Structures are given as structure tokens and as C-alpha cells.
Amino acid sequence: MIVLGIDPGYGRCGFGVIESNESAMNGWSHLASGVISTSAETEFSDRLLEIGDDLVSIIRQYKPELLVIEQLFFAKNTTTAMKVAHARGMIVYVAKKEGVRVEDVMPNEVKQALTGYGAADKKQMQEMVKTVFGLSKVPEPDDAADALAIAWTGATRAAYL
Amino acid sequence: MIVLGIDPGYGRCGFGVIESNESAMNGWSHLASGVISTSAETEFSDRLLEIGDDLVSIIRQYKPELLVIEQLFFAKNTTTAMKVAHARGMIVYVAKKEGVRVEDVMPNEVKQALTGYGAADKKQMQEMVKTVFGLSKVPEPDDAADALAIAWTGATRAAYL
């Protein structure tokens, strides 16, 4: 089973692709990870189009069964929050359109799943991503590591619920 | 020129299609209007898919050159605001993907364009939609009338800026 994790954003949108693998230490291997980035000089509607097109390419290349995407939590109704929500809605639509099942995870659920601690800091999370997938270093950039954590949380949800 | 106006939403998403017409009183005729609605019992990701699919059908049927969509303005960061932003991002993406130019309008800009008064009430707006397009009655439901007002504002923007 292949799972695609998404750390939603419009300037930087992290993605992480993992595959179930019985011989891997924690049952899942890292296949690919990275970030889809768009320029602040590009009109917002064109940024959405770019991210959507790149996401379609990733989905068609890796053929995930499940897309796991983090829920948004913003303390304030900022312009940024609304823009990330625009991108997130587009991403969910693109996944469904490509026939991929979509599941949400909450930020604290991801922390809990990786570190057993819902308030873990960013550094702890990244170290756990490296450990879980048996990587030689923390995947970069941060958004890619976050997306791998999100993918793993959704993929292994049945195991820790 | 054909213009599609969208009053964004996920439970009810209004649409209005208008066409430039020299013989029409105000230069534009009403072609079609209505609402795309989804059930609260449907999972949110499936609601996005339904709205997107219906929007693609409308775009392919009427072939608008321009899609005009209202900007969101919410005083509070409610769950509803974030969900509408999800739908709006998906709508903008679908339009761009179908090769349609996208323009935003602000709610007070729509009121100003139709009534010359940025704080007009809903009733005044709807009466003006009826008048502008020379219709025998106010288009229903409200979301459809709002979408026609949005389309007209974007379509005639050059005229009143």
C-alpha cells in the first residue's frame, strides 16, 4: 500500500510518499518526499493551478491508495489561514478526482503518533521521522519531513487508535 | 462575451451566467442561474468533488471567458469560513484548469456596482438584479441572484472603475 502525506500550503506544500514494507523496521519505507513551491510573484489563482498540476503528477507517478492531509488549525482568522484553506480544498478535490481516498489528521494527532506526546516540538518530530523510516538524515526541507510524519500517522492509524 | 458569476459555498454554491448583448437594456442578458447544492450527510471531500464536477459541466456548457467569484469576508475564524475557503480554492482551480480567466470581487464592490451604495441590503440587491437583466421576477434561490450580481459586477467593472 502506498500513502501520500500532504502538509498543505500555497507557498510551500510538503509531500511525502511511503510504502508498506514488511522488511522495514517500522513497516513502512520512504519512497519520495519534497516540496511543491510557488512564487509570491505569481497570481494566487495561478499558484493554485501550479500546485494542483504538480500534485496530479505526483499522484500519477506513485499511485497512492490514500492521501493523508493535515487539518488546519489557526488561532486567528488571518489572510494566510484563508489562503491555506483555499489550497487545501483544491488538494482534496484533486485527490478525489484522481480516485484517491482522503483522510484528515489533526496536528496533535501527528505529534502523538510519532513521539507519543501531543505537544512535541518540531525538532523532536523531525528526528522521529528519520528514525521511523531508518533514514541517514532528517528529510529536507521541513515541509517534506512534516508530510512524511502526516503520511505515517494516517497509514498507521489503525495500529495506535 | 459570456461571464460566470459564483457565490462560493459548500452547502449551496450559487452560479449565474450572463452574456453581453447590445440590445439588452443594460448591455447584458441573463443566460442561466441556479445553485449547486450538496447534502450535509455527504462527507466534506465528496461535497467538494460534487461541486467541482457540476462546475466543470456548467463551464463546458456555457463556455464563459471569465469567472467572477466573490472574496470571502468573515469577522471570525469559524469552521464555516474555513470550509467555504476550501470550496472557493477548489472552484478557482477548476476554472483555471478549464482555461477560464478568474477575477475576484469584494462583497461591498458588488453592492456598490448594483445599487451605487456599498451597504445595500439583500432585498435591494435582489431587486436590482431583476431590474438590471429585465427579468419578470427576482431569480431564485438567493444564491443564484447573488451570483448574477457578482457576474455583472465583474463583467462591467471597466465601466464603473
Indicate yes or no: CB of A89 within 8 angstroms of CB of B87.
yes
Interface predicted TM-score (ipTM) = 0.91
What is the structure's pLDDT at A161? 44
pTM above 0.80, yes or no: yes
Q: Is B70 a catalytic residue?
A: yes
Residue of A nearest to B99 (CA): A49
Alpha helices in chain A, H assignment, sequence order:
44-62, 79-97, 107-115, 122-132, 142-155, 157-160
Give chain A's mean pLDDT: 93
Count Cβ atoms below 10 Å from residue A49 Cβ, excluding itself: 21
Inter-chain contact B72–A82, Cβ cutoff 8 Å?
A: yes
Q: CB of A72 within 8 Å of any CB in chain B? A: yes
Answer whether A92 sits within 8 Å of B97, measured CB to CB. no
Q: Kindly state whether B45 is in contact with chain A, defined as any CB-CB distance less than 8 angstroms.
A: yes
Q: Which three cell numbers stand for residue B23?
A: 440590445
Contact A45 B96 (CB under 8 A): yes
Q: Distance (Å) from the C-alpha of residue A149 to the closest C-alpha of chain B? A: 22
Q: Give every residue of chain A whose pLDDT is below 70, as ranges.
A: 75-77, 158-161
Q: What is the pLDDT of residue A129?
A: 96
Task: Please count the other Cβ atoms lying within 10 Å of the Cβ belonging to residue B124.
Answer: 13
pLDDT mean for each 10 residues of chain B (161 residues): 97 97 91 97 97 98 97 78 95 98 94 86 92 94 96 83 44
Domains located in chain A, CATH noted? 2-160 (3.30.420.10)
Chain B residues near residue A47 by CB distance under 8 angstroms: none
